[in-house]
A and B are shown apart, each in its own frame.
Chain A
Amino acid sequence: MKIHEYQAKELFREAGIAVPKGYVARTPDEAAEAAARLIEETGNRVVVVKSQIHAGGRGKGRFREHGDLGGVKVILDGLEGGADAAVETVRRTALQMLGSTLVTIQTGEEGKQVNTVYVEQGMDIANELYLSVLLDRTTGRNLVMASSEGGTEIEEVAEATPEKILREDIDPLTGLAPFQARRLGLGLGLGGAVLKNFIPFVRALAGLAIRLDTDMLEINPLVVTGDSQVLALDGKVSFDSNALHRHPALVELRDLSEEDPAEVEASGYGLSFIKLDGNIGCLVNGAGLAMATMDIIKHVGGEPANFLDVGGGATTENVTAAFRIITQDENVRGIFINIFGGIMKCDTIANGVVEAVRQVGLEVPLVVRLEGTNVELGRRIIDESGVNAVSATSMLEGARKVVELANGAAA
């Protein structure tokens, strides 16, 4: 589960991790008010308006409705025009951003609508760094990753100058030790008061990541100011959804408007669903088989419309919901049901499919491949139901048939 930058910074603040002062706004007036308050409180007449969406690359992104406006705007008008000029420009900028669509390298062409902006004090930046806490799958431990190349995507740094990436493994028994935090700081070229501020900062961050079960916690950039402060200028945080049961307060931070409605509906039924761009709907049990089903459809010349794993414990009701979600996609020209029953029993799938067809109808070709637990019973249920399904005995045969039929239906 992802959260917005302003929410991440609130969590940082609560954990004693320094962030610039800022206020969230959902209307231009709120943004103007936030700017006025910031200037009054900090005496700093430079403010920044930041679009809040669940995607990176906001600074370099552009609004579809306002081609020259990026997702992050530094307002300098206050320097000469005074506080009132800054506040007015913030209001105008927020008016443009709110309700408009921001397209960044991570949103895809469709972009994302901005519903919230974060108004933040401008910082006197001396140095930009990179810091993240993530899982190292090789060791099965958490890792702090740091780089002197702040502001650049870490993947680019890893590609161009891998020697500039520093790593410290976190032993779950001790957490990030002070000497490790110091070693990171020295490696980043920090010294004096900056190093002294960096050490508690990075240790608090590592502690927070583990305490809150984050999947990924990234600060890019982490900034060093002219007066030796260390602050998180950005914050990107996502949480391990399997651990949310112990963080009820974090669940409240979920912004459903950032997620695909079909994916949200599917997750309500315990289905793992990801919307894709093709025209062959897939209903599969098991994540590996579901992925391989997408692959095999592509292999025979088709394009999958989705990834869908009904899971091992699905009921007839879940399967019915899965089928309905697939058929809601207007692009779907054929449906491939591919089941190898282990925990999942083939008769459960068959009953769900029959029930779904009864409820929502069937307007596109349906190919069913059943194998595994209770396979004979499952096949019989479908055969006797009168549902117009084509059966297949292997994945490859099923994939070929569904792609062929879908192409026929499209022509």
Chain B
Amino acid sequence: MSILADLNTRLITQGLGGAGRFHTDRAIAYGTNVVGAVHPGRGGQVERFEGETDQSGVPGRPDTYQVDVPIFETVAEAVAATGANASVVYVPPPFAADAIMEAADAGVPLVITITEGIPIQDMVIAKRYLEGRSTRLIGPNCPGITTPNQCKIGIMPGYIHSAGRVGVVSRSGTLTYEAVHQLTQNGLGQTTAVGIGGDPVNGTNFVDVLKLFNDDPATEGVILIGEIGGSAEEDAAAWIAANMTKPVAAFIAGTTAPPGKRMGHAGAIIEGGSGGADDKIRALEKAGAVIAATPSDMGSAMLEAMKRKGIS
């Protein structure tokens, strides 16, 4: 089992530019079922992807792949023609919020937005547009979702994953890779790794993903990776304390970040004395999470959290 993405995922790529094309190729090499693409001006064309299979991905496939992906002018056409049930957005920042709304309008149930640098007001409008619609947005400014051995959506390196027992949810891309890598090395493996993104306005928050992991029978524990800015980690801590039945390990980045400075991510800023790392760490600790002192300790913190709950 897993959450959000699995062997039944039928993915379309929105935006087949350099990054979109490269990562669509990597996804297909991993074994993800990419059924189409949307790129204005290229409707009716076909993009061929071929190469050597990523052996760390879906098992039992030939050594090479050759996939012809049909390109459509609009998301609605792509969905009608392919039955896609997920979309990944690589559209450049000025047009990305529109691409998200187009996917929602076409009824795509899951939209993962990788694009970094979308204007905040565009996301305020897109989030409002999603209200009352059944689309779940992941991101923007996120690395995507990987369910090992089943489906890879986004830009995470495939080979660091291994199918296993722990769910990962993170605001940071590269720290997700750290956690996943450590879980592979210590043998716990992952059910699904989800990047929710580093922007201040995003579609899915920690609590949404924690609920999914809590309900997923295969997930035995969760690593949560947060950072300074906002109060999503505090909200997650409150939810964990009240509802989470599974062990949680957490790491919060930005203990040493100076106030008032934006640390790379648009959302990573300590404002007016709130959003600091220490408050978040305290809240999660109080909720029973085991805190990793450094990013190198995330895997061992998970082991410790599981041990405390009697899981070995």
User: Chain A: residues with CB nearer than 8 A to chain B?
Assistant: 106, 135, 137-138, 140-142, 154-155, 158-159, 171-173, 210, 213, 215, 240, 242-243, 245-246, 272, 274, 276, 284-292, 294-299, 304, 307, 309, 312-313, 340-343, 371-373, 394-397, 399
Binds A, one of B27-35, B63-71, B168-176, B301-309: B168-176
Residues of B within 8 A of A106 (CB): 260
Q: How far is the CB of B99 from chain A (nearest CB, A)?
A: 16
B220 beta carbon closer than 8 Å to chain A: no
Show 22 A/B contacts (Cβ-Cβ < 8 Å), sorted by A: A135-B200, A137-B267, A140-B123, A173-B128, A213-B119, A215-B120, A240-B121, A243-B120, A245-B94, A274-B263, A288-B171, A288-B173, A289-B253, A290-B264, A291-B172, A291-B227, A291-B264, A296-B296, A342-B173, A343-B19, A343-B23, A371-B177
Q: Are A276 and B294 in contact (CB under 8 A)?
A: no
The main secondary structure of chain A at its interface with chain B is: mixed
Binds A, one of B74-82, B153-161, B211-219, B240-248: B153-161
B265 beta carbon closer than 8 Å to chain A: yes
Return the contact of A242 from the options B118, B156, B232, B255 (Cβ within 8 A): B118
Q: Are B119 and A240 in contact (CB under 8 A)?
A: yes
The chain B residue with its CB closest to the CB of A173 is B128
Residues of A within 8 A of B277 (CB): 295
Residues of A within 8 A of B122 (CB): 243
Q: Are A287 and B265 in contact (CB under 8 A)?
A: yes
Q: A340 CA to B200 CA in the complex, in Å? A: 24
Q: How far is the CB of B216 from chain A (nearest CB, A)?
A: 24
Q: A94 CA to B160 CA in the complex, in Å? A: 62
Residues of A within 8 A of B181 (CB): 340, 371
B257 beta carbon closer than 8 Å to chain A: yes
B93 beta carbon closer than 8 Å to chain A: yes
Q: Are A155 and B19 in contact (CB under 8 A)?
A: no
The chain A residue with its CB closest to the CB of B202 is A140
Q: Beyond A137-B200, A213-B119, is A340–B174 a contact (Cβ under 8 Å)?
A: yes
Q: Are A340 and B177 in contact (CB under 8 A)?
A: yes
Total A-B pairs, Cβ < 8 A:
175
Q: A210 CA to B124 CA in the complex, in Å? A: 10
How many residues from B make CB contacts under 8 Å with A? Answer: 65
Q: Are B157 and A342 in contact (CB under 8 A)?
A: yes
Return the contact of B295 from the options A213, A296, A309 (Cβ within 8 A): A296
Q: A394 CA to B294 CA in the complex, in Å? A: 11
B8 beta carbon closer than 8 Å to chain A: no
Q: How far is the CB of B20 from chain A (nearest CB, A)?
A: 12
Residues of A within 8 A of B295 (CB): 289, 292, 296, 395
The chain A residue with its CB closest to the CB of B251 is A292
Q: Beyond A274-B261, A290-B263, A342-B157, is A295–B123 a contact (Cβ under 8 Å)?
A: no
Q: Which 8 residue pairs spanning A and B have beta carbons closest together?
A: A288-B172, A287-B264, A286-B174, A243-B119, A289-B174, A396-B296, A309-B264, A291-B253
